[in-house]
Amino acid sequence: MNQSEELTLPRRLRRLRVSKSVRSLVQENRIEVDDLIAPLFVHEREGGPEAVESMPGVWRFSIEDTVHECRSLWDLGIKAVAIFPSIDPQNKDPDGSAGLNPDNLIYRAVRAIKQALPELVVITDVALDPFTSHGHDGLLNEETGDVDNDRTVAMLCQLAVLEAEAGADWVAPSDMMDGRVQAIRSALDRAGYTRTSILAYSAKFASGFYGPFRDAIGSKAAAGTSYLDKGTYQLNPGNAREAIQDALLDEAEGADMLMVKPAGPYLDIIRSLRERTLLPLVGYQVSGEYSQLQAAAQLGWLELERTRDESLLAIKRAGADLILTYFAKEIAQALKGGVSP
C-alpha cells in the first residue's frame, strides 16, 4: 500500500481518543470520592502521630488525632473510615482477652469519632490478631496449635456486639473462620443491633502483601522475623473457585457487603463475584500494594500519581463498588482540585 493512501475503515476507534475532552466524555469507569474508604491506624502511646516506616505517608494517630483526621477526610467528601488499633504488647495475651474490654482502644476511638462526626460511617475489624500475643486471628487449639474455628467464632460474636455498642456502623469480620457471618448476624440481632451492617472479608487470601499492615498494628512482631502462616484459614492464592464459594456462603449467611482482599492481585475474583452477586463489592488495596508503588516511585522507577490512579481504576473496572485504600485522602484532595483519576 502506498504511504499516501488512506485505509477505508468503517470503524476507527481512535476517533474516540482524538482529544482529552473526547476521552473524558467516553470514559467508562471513574474513581469518585464516594467510592473511597480510608483505613486509619490508632494508638494510645504518648506523643504525636507515629509514622509507619514501611508505608510512606501513613501514620498511627492518637484518638484525638484520629478524630481530627476524620474531620479532614469528611471535609474532603470521604464518608467512611475503617479503624485498626495498634495495641500495646503488654495488653496482649494468647486469648486476645483485651478485645473484650469495653473500654479498650478501639471502642474508645469509635465512640470519640461518632460523637464528633455522627454521619461518618465507621467500620471496625472483627478479628483477634490485634489483641493476641501470637498474632493469629483466633484462639489456638492447645493440642494442634491451629486456630480453633468454633471457639474463635464465639469470641468474634462478642467483639462484634461490643463494636456495635460503641457505635460502629459496619462490623467487618476479617478472620475467615467458617460460619462467622451467620453467628455474628444472629448475635447482633439478639443484642438489638439489627441496623448494624456486616462487611464480610469474604475472599481474604493468605497473601504476602500484608507485611506493612502487620508492621502498622504490631502483629508482625508476634511472629519474630518471619510472617505467621495463616494458610489454615485464609484462602490459597491459587484457588479461585474456593474463593467464590466462601463469598457466596457469606452472602447466604447474611453479609450485607462482600470484600476481596488484596484487590489488585485478585481482580479476577472481583470480576467473578460481580457476575454472581447483587451485593455491594469492596476491594481492599492492601498495604503491600500501596507500599510497592511508593517505593518504586521514590526510586524513580514509576510515576506515583499515574500508577496510583491506574491501580484504583483497575479495581473499579473489575467490579468493585467501594475501595479501601491508603491513597484515599490524596485521591479525595485531587478530586476536590478538579483532577479525576
**Mind telling me the catalytic residues?**
204, 261
Amino acid identity, position 243:
A
Q: Are 292 and 264 in contact (CB under 8 A)?
A: no
CA 341 – CA 331 distance, rounded (Å): 8
For helices 149-166 and 180-190, what crossing angle results, to 10°? 40
251's enclosing H/E stretch is: helix 240-253
Per DSSP, 147 falls in state: B
Q: Is 23 exposed, middle or buried (0-12, 13-18, 19+ CB in 10 A)?
A: exposed
Those residues whose C-beta lies under 8 Å from the C-beta of residue 301, and which sit 6 or more positions away, are: none
Q: Which residues pair with 216 in a beta bridge?
A: none
DSSP category for residue 45: -
* AA identity, residue 83: I
Whose cell is 479498650? That residue is 104
Cα–Cα distance measured from residue 153 to residue 173, given in angstroms and rounded to the nearest whole number: 10
